[in-house]
Structure 1
Amino acid sequence: MGEDQFGSRVHQTEAQHVPVLSLAIQRLLDDFAWQAMGAEFRFDPDMPMLVSITFMAGPGPRVTWSVSRELVYRGLHELSGSGDVQMWPVGSADGATARLLLESPDMSSLFELPARPLARWLDSTYRTTPRQDEMAGLDWDSFIADILDGAEEM
C-alpha cells in the first residue's frame, strides 16, 4: 500500500455527499514495532452521532468500527472514552498525533493517527450537522417502540 493510496485526503462520495477521509495510520504490533496501514473515516448525516472507521491492513479483510463523533473530537484534545474505545492526544503541544485504542473481548489494537487532517475533517462534519442538531432527526417513537418490543421478548 503506497503512501499515495492512503495519503491524507478528503473527497466527497457521489451518493451521499458526505466527506470521506483517507489517512495513512500506524498500528502498534508490539512494544517497538509499528505497522503502516490505511483508514477511512466516514460520516453519515442520517447518523450524526457516529463516525465509522474502516481499517485496511494490506490485502486482508477490512474491519469497520463505529465510534462516537464526540469521543473522536474530544480525543484530539484530551483523554476521551472509557472501556472499549479510548482516544487521546500524543506528543508535542501542537497535538500532531492522537492514539486510538479499540478493545474487544478477544483482542485490543492501538493506532496512531495524524491529528490535524482528522481535526479538519471533523470540523467539516460539524458544519454538515452541528452538534446541537444531532438528535433532531431521530425517530423517538420508533426507537421507544423497538425498546418496548425487545422488553416483551425477554
Structure 2
Amino acid sequence: MNSSGTTASAELGLRLVVPDRTSVPLVARLDYTSDDPYAITVAFHTGDDEPVEWIFARELLTVGIVRHVGEGDVQVWPSKGTGERTINIALSSPFGQAQFDAAISPLAEFLHRTYEIVPAGQEGDHVDLDAEIERHLHS
C-alpha cells in the first residue's frame, strides 16, 4: 500500500464469484486522491487486457463493510459466513454482471488511510466548485 499527503493506493485480492460456486482470484488496484475526495477508483485486472475501472463513492465502500448498501449498478455488503470477514461487491452494467468478494481487513485499512487524508465531512473543503463548473461547461 502506498500513500502520500494527498493520495493513497493499494492492491486488493478479490475473488470473482462465478455461477458454478467456484471463484477466480483477481487483483484490483484502489486509488484515492484528495482532488476527488468523494470517490475511489477501482481498477479490476482481468488478464492481459486493460483493467476495467469503476468509480465508487468512498462512503458506499465504508458503509458496505457493516451493512448492505447500494442500489442498481453497485451493491456492497458484508459476508454472513464464518471465518475470515469478507465484503461482497456486485456490479451490473449493460455489458454484464459480476460479483466479487474480498477480505475486509485490507479494504478497511485502505479506507482508514483515505479518511486520514480527507476526514469524513470535510470532502467539500477539497473541491474547487468554480473549477468543476468551468470544466463541465467547456467539455
TM range (shorter): 0.7 to 0.9
> Secondary structure of 1:80's partner?
coil
Partner of 1:76: 65
Percent of pairs with identical residues = 26
Does the residue aligned with 2:121 lie in a helix, a strand or coil?
A: helix
Structure 1 unpaired stretches of 5+: 1-9
- For 2:2, the aligned partner's letter is H
2:51 is aligned to 62
Of residues 74-83 and 51-60 in structure 1, the stretch that sits farther from structure 2 once superposed is: 51-60
**Which structure exhibits the higher relative contact order, with contacts defined as CA atoms closer than 8 Å and separated by 6 or more residues?**
2
Equivalent residue number for residue 11 of structure 1: 2
Choose from 10, 18, 30 the match for 1:29: 18
1:98 aligns with 2:87: yes
SS at match of 1:43: strand
What is the TM-score normalised by the length of structure 2? Answer: 0.87
Structure-2 residue corresponding to 1:38: 27
Letter in 1 for 2:29: E
| Residue 115 of structure 2 is aligned to residue 114 of structure 1 | no
Work out the CA distance in 1 between the residues paired with 2:107 and 2:54: 16
Q: TM-score, normalized by length of structure 1? A: 0.79
Give the RMSD, CA atoms, in angstroms: 2.3
- Name the SS for the 2:127 alignment partner: coil
User: How far 1:94 moved relative to its partner?
Assistant: 7.8
